[in-house]
């Protein structure tokens, strides 16, 4: 039923290559099928102004897409300014990563996670969150090793998958052909079996409580599988 021949609960192959940036304190290239996102974590020993002298740190994220990451070339955001969609995505990434961080343990410093989509085939924001956590984990390890933080500010992986209703069926991990057809789709972000964020939207359609329940199940399985891949990547 799916264009790719995948089963309804089947994710695309996921690989996470770490250490891809010579300069960043943490980095990885995450591939989810044909989607590829370069994630870097940059440690900044200063917090933003509104957090000065509050005794805790901050994690924030920025998101971008190379102009030809997509099937047809998009306009460069550096020339046009960030779209509402881009701002919405980077606010989401930052919020989700912060939910998995002990900001007091991090100390008064900021980690900026940059997620740049090198190639897009659906699910870029989920790949960004999942890969972003890996970059963050590596940067936090460096702080621990250097003795700059003494208690680990991170715990279980923060993992994200997309789910949607395609051809009447709840499915996991939509690729671009599915994403552009699905009337209902969304993103689920989880950590250690608990929910961080749920964003389900129906463009020109609606969905039932039973479908919502099934999507929540698919998401729980998908994020559990991702968490294992994330942990393997940072070992």
Task: Answer yes or no: are the C-beta atoms of 160 and 224 closer than 8 Å.
Answer: no
Q: How distant is the alpha carbon of residue 178 from its chain centre?
A: 19
User: Is the Cβ of residue 52 or residue 79 nearer to a copy of itself in the bound state?
Assistant: 79
Among 114, 173, 175, 185, interactor with a copy of itself by CB under 8 A: 114
Region binding a copy of itself by CB under 8 A among candidate stretches 21-29, 45-53, 126-134, 141-149: 21-29
CA triple 68-71-73, angle to 5 deg = 40
Among 17, 98, 224, 225, interactor with a copy of itself by CB under 8 A: 98
Per CB under 8 A, 196 contacts a copy of itself = yes
Per CB under 8 A, 118 contacts a copy of itself = yes
Per CB under 8 A, 46 contacts a copy of itself = no
b/e code 146-159 from CB counts within 10 Å (16+ = b)? eeebeeebbeebbb
User: Is the Cβ of residue 194 or residue 235 nearer to a copy of itself in the bound state?
Assistant: 194
CA distance 80 to 76: 7
Per CB under 8 A, 194 contacts a copy of itself = yes
The length of the chain is 235
Among 123, 131, 157, 186, interactor with a copy of itself by CB under 8 A: 186
For residue 154, which of 90, 92, 198, 111 has the smallest C-alpha distance? Answer: 111
b/e code 190-207 from CB counts within 10 Å (16+ = b)? bbeeeebbeebeeeeeeb
Per CB under 8 A, 212 contacts a copy of itself = yes
Which residues are near a copy of itself by CB under 8 A?
21-24, 27, 34, 38, 40, 42, 44, 62, 64, 66-73, 76-79, 81-82, 84-88, 91, 95, 98-99, 103, 112, 114, 116, 118-119, 121, 186, 191-192, 194-209, 212, 216, 220
């Amino acid at each position: 039923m799916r264009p790719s021949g995948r089963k309804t609960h089947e994710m695309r192959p996921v690989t996470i290559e770490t250490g891809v940036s010579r300069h960043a304190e943490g980095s990885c290239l995450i591939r989810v099928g044909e989607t590829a996102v370069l994630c870097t974590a940059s440690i900044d020993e200063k917090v933003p102004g509104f957090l000065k002298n509050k005794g805790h740190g901050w994690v924030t994220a920025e998101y971008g897409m190379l102009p030809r990451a997509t099937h047809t070339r998009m306009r460069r955001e550096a020339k046009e300014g960030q779209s509402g969609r881009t701002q919405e995505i980077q606010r989401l990434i930052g919020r989700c990563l912060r939910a998995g961080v002990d900001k007091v343990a991090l100390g008064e410093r900021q980690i900026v996670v940059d997620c740049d989509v090198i190639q897009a085939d659906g699910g870029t924001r989920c790949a960004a969150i999942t890969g972003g956590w890996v970059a963050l984990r590596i940067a936090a390890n460096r702080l621990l090793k250097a003795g700059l933080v003494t208690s680990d500010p991170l715990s279980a992986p923060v993992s994200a998958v997309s789910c949607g209703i395609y051809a009447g069926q709840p499915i996991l991990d939509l690729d671009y052909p599915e994403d552009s057809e699905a009337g209902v789709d969304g993103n689920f972000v989880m950590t250690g079996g608990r929910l961080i964020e749920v964003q389900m939207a129906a463009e020109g359609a609606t969905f039932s409580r039973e479908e919502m329940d099934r999507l929540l199940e698919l998401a729980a399985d998908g994020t559990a599988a991702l968490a294992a891949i994330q942990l393997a990547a940072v070992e």
